[in-house]
Structure 1
């Protein structure tokens, strides 16, 4: 990174930090529209602090990648509906994967059932193996992905995904990444198997796509998580893949240790 890129990143960081501090996410997070089971996970996922760290403001154009059941959509969509634009880049409509189809159908039902909060959501498709746009090229202020990187690694689509994020963002735009964190030196094969990814690996993906790492946060860190469980990250809540076996032990650990990284697309 040259001196111009460094200065640009510092200036952009200051501007975004000021905007984030002025925004109040708490009324949306406390909203009665949120799913009760999702609210129970706030203590692990720290949505207000995470979105503030990413610099999300209500006037922005934001893309959420693979929103799944809509945990973050329940916060982002109503937060952005009046002044901003929100794209939910979900699974492809024409996918032959049954899980993808069921997840997408349930998400559409969720949007249709609450027009007040989700009526302005723009539903797009995210498929790193294709050329489909998650949002118009160069249009987004921020692209956000939560606990997804390990999934793209299985089919060698991880670098393609980061390249798509870069294309969707405006110059100066933000990429926010939250991901389960593996111990340094963990092999790629083990990352895929366990669902935990090293922070260095994620940074490398982003930098190869053209991003500059601007800041990291420990807001989603969990020192109780050793990242070496029998069923990988899915051993822990909310999955609890082992069922009742050692359930209290894994509930006491809580959700996974996670990196929280903010990248910038350079302006020049």
Structure 2
């Protein structure tokens, strides 16, 4: 009743949508269902600022691509539960799938069964070469992908990357939003490094989006880290949280922090 009263008061002031969004997002981010380890990463992933930038509202249909263990799902699912729809386009599994993908999907399904805020989640599958129907065509208000583009590029180059963005375009309504967060390589970097470093050039992401039909609406530095030069012995996995070199230069990489990330908001044109 208290939240409903607050909503009505805000609406009377012409601020209902904004307040409802802020309440739903803040409640989801601060919720006790999120582990302490997950919340520690808020410093680098900036979920509230990022989702505000993408314009995600509680009454939207939002597709998240490859949610993995559910870090963002634990925010989006409760935020969208009452008025919206959260679609988890998880890993596509067949006889060729790596055990990592199987275990990740099984873990996500287990989370869905045990957590009440996942009770209304729609589970679909995505693979740039094998599974493109992430949602009903033209049904999504937003498609979000967090640190995934490098996987498609590393496995299938520009072809798989282009196919991914085409799938996102197909799922979105006219005027719908595509939000992309990705580890960023300087434009002066070696193109060949994109095949194994986990970093992508912004121009490559922009080209794939443009080819699919998207228009860039805005970019943000909310997830930028100027201390990261994207040149490390084991690519992005050298940095936290992976720290692939174990104890070697550990303090150095902890001081750098997590990767420098581009945050791009694209729109599917209305006509």
Length-normalised TM-score, structure 2 = 0.89
1:13 aligned partner? none
Q: 1:149 to 1:109 in 2, by over 3 A?
A: same
> In structure 2, which of residues 166, 170, 182 is the aligned counterpart of residue 167 of structure 1?
170
1:3 aligned partner? none
1:146 aligned partner? 146
Partner secondary structure for residue 181 of structure 1: strand
> In structure 2, which of residues 21, 25, 34 is the aligned counterpart of residue 23 of structure 1?
21
2:109 aligned partner? 108
Partner secondary structure for residue 194 of structure 1: coil
2:241 aligned partner? 238
1:179 aligned partner? 182
- CA-to-aligned-CA distance 1:54-76 (integer Å, 9 cap, x gap): 00000000000000111100000
> In structure 2, which of residues 221, 224, 245 is the aligned counterpart of residue 221 of structure 1?
224
Maintained 8 Å contact 1:178/1:261? yes
Q: How many residues align?
A: 250
> In structure 2, which of residues 190, 193, 205 is the aligned counterpart of residue 190 of structure 1?
193
* Distance in 1 between residues matched to 2:194 and 2:132, nearest whole Å: 27
Q: What is the CA-CA distance between 1:85 and the residue it aligns to?
A: 0.5
Maintained 8 Å contact 1:143/1:176? yes
1:38 aligned partner? 38
Maintained 8 Å contact 1:20/1:56? no
RMSD: 1.4
Residue range with higher mean Cα deviation, 46-55 or 30-39: 30-39
* Distance in 2 between residues matched to 1:162 and 1:28, nearest whole Å: 28
Q: 1:19 to 1:267 in 2, by over 3 A?
A: farther
1:14 aligned partner? none
- CA-to-aligned-CA distance 1:28-48 (integer Å, 9 cap, x gap): 100000022111000001000
* Distance in 1 between residues matched to 2:65 and 2:178, nearest whole Å: 11
1:47 aligned partner? 47
Q: What is the CA-CA distance between 1:21 and the residue it aligns to?
A: 7.2
Q: What is the CA-CA distance between 1:131 and the residue it aligns to?
A: 4.5
* Distance in 2 between residues matched to 1:189 and 1:120, nearest whole Å: 42
* Distance in 2 between residues matched to 1:266 and 1:213, nearest whole Å: 10
1:204 aligned partner? 207
Maintained 8 Å contact 2:125/2:131? no
Maintained 8 Å contact 2:20/2:58? no
Length-normalised TM-score, structure 1 = 0.90
Partner secondary structure for residue 196 of structure 2: helix
